Amino acid sequence: MSEEFLHYLWLHRLYQTHHFFTTNNEPFEIIHPGLPNSDAGPDFFNAKIKMGSTVWVGNVEIHLKEDDWVKHQHHTDPAYNNVILHVVHTATGTVQTAEKRLVPAWEINYDVALVEKYQSLQANAKWVACADVLPSVSEFDKRLWLDRMVVERLEEKSAQITQMLLMANGDWDQVFFELLCRNFGFGINGLPFEMMARQTPLKLLLKHSANIKQLEALLLGQSGLLIDDCDDAYINMLRQEYVFLAHKYQLKPIDGHLFKFLRTRPSNFPELRLVQLAALLHQSKGLFDATLSALSIASMHQLLTVTASAYWSTHFRSGKSCASSTKKELGKTSRDLLISNTIIPYLFVYFEKRNDTARKEQVLDLLYTLPAERNAIIDHWKQVGFLCRNEAEAQGLLFLKSYYCKPKKCLNCLIGHNALQKL
């Protein structure tokens, strides 16, 4: 038995009897369980309990044992003065508020079989705990919950972007650049890309945006990837350019060893991604301003369609030549990922901050027109019968797996709730 399970029983009214008595043998009626509180304070707000002829409106606190109230110091915390019912698994005595008011307690009654089903679900070692019963969950409920996951995913990204804005003193352009760089790392190198961006002012890069060689020198140099000497004339030229610019602007690079090359496809090598980023800055100049007028998938693709400079047509890494390739441009799959993980969430926050509901919804709708990304997690969902039709649903499924299935928060999930009923 866990406190989380008691929350679940209370929220969904899964108690067995309709005749309720407090531990002091006072009859009462549960009119409404209230709203769950995810922040500090009582577990449920605005519950309605009728005791005698009086309807009490207030908060509900839930514990496994009644004396947990004192262990958690609620008896000295004024935030708990408005608790009208203490729901417990085991009653051990009476408790009171900071105002010395006695809090009525109730030992919740429940079906033991329901607990066994929950424990069975939690003990399931399959990729998702509900895999055995997932096909029997209605398509309507699955899609309804998936839409909720899309919103929660965007809310999570919005919170991250808002925090980045605070750190950047409200500089939208710089934060867009940092977010873009993180996603140019395409997962495995996202962190070092972001670290480089934070040490490289976008205004400085835009100042040199007309010169592609200086952009490449700045981005590769700031990434700590222009340190070793080599016999390559082009790379030596970039190194000399960076040494001059770093001294002029007092720049400090990150440690180049942070980047990962092992098990990375050549088309995703950090150096190639950095020079593609240089080509994007060279082409677009005012990067964030360009996105504000790119409110269609086609225009976003046009913005991101860039090709690395000529040297990189025969190099995936600096100083190491390879066969000539036409694949040194930013591919469609990469552009789709940058659109879904950078441009759309950023514009969503931008329009939200300006109360522009129409354009915020327009941007959100774009996620549903992008093809779903392919990765191991999406493939696993397909194997258990949860098909992904577009990028919005892919984002939702990624969030569902990370924030609900992996930590087994089945009780907080609509699909898990339905699965529990079907076991």
Q: Give the tokens for residue 265.
A: 């496809």
What's 64's DSSP letter?
E
Distance CA 255, CA 224 (A): 5
Single out the residue of 377, 366, 309, 320 nearest to residue 343, CA to CA: 366
Alpha helix (H) residue ranges in 250-390? 270-284, 287-292, 297-304, 332-338, 344-353, 357-367, 376-383
Dihedral of CA 326/329/335/337: which sign?
positive
Q: Which single residue is written with the structure tokens 């009582």?
A: 42
Q: Give the tokens for residue 184.
A: 């140019």
Alpha helix (H) residue ranges in 208-341? 212-222, 233-249, 270-284, 287-292, 297-304, 332-338
Distance CA 26, CA 421 (A): 32
The pLDDT score that the predictor gives to residue 196 is: 96
The pLDDT score that the predictor gives to residue 325 is: 60
Single out the residue of 298, 224, 207, 215 nearest to residue 259, CA to CA: 224
CA angle 162, 403, 265 (to 5 degrees): 80
Distance CA 198, CA 83 (A): 47
Q: For residue 55, which phi and psi values (nearest 5 degrees)?
A: -95, 120
- Can you name the residues that pair with 320 across neighbouring β-strands? 317
The pLDDT score that the predictor gives to residue 319 is: 65
Q: What 3-state DSSP class applies to 279?
A: helix
**pLDDT tens track of the chain, all 423 residues?**
789 999 999 998 988 777 899 998 999 999 999 999 988 899 999 999 999 889 999 999 999 999 999 999 999 999 999 999 999 999 988 899 999 999 999 999 888 888 888 888 888 889 999 988 888 888 899 999 999 999 999 999 999 999 999 999 999 999 999 999 999 999 899 999 999 999 999 999 999 999 999 999 999 999 999 977 778 889 999 999 999 999 999 999 999 999 998 878 888 899 999 999 999 999 887 677 778 877 899 999 999 999 999 898 888 877 677 666 655 788 999 999 999 999 999 999 999 999 999 999 999 999 999 999 989 999 999 999 888 999 999 999 999 999 999 999 998 999 988 888 877
Helical packing angle, 344-353 and 357-367, nearest 10°: 160
Who's near 55: CB < 8 A, 6+ residues apart? 31, 48, 49
Domain regions of the chain by residue span: 3-110, 168-367
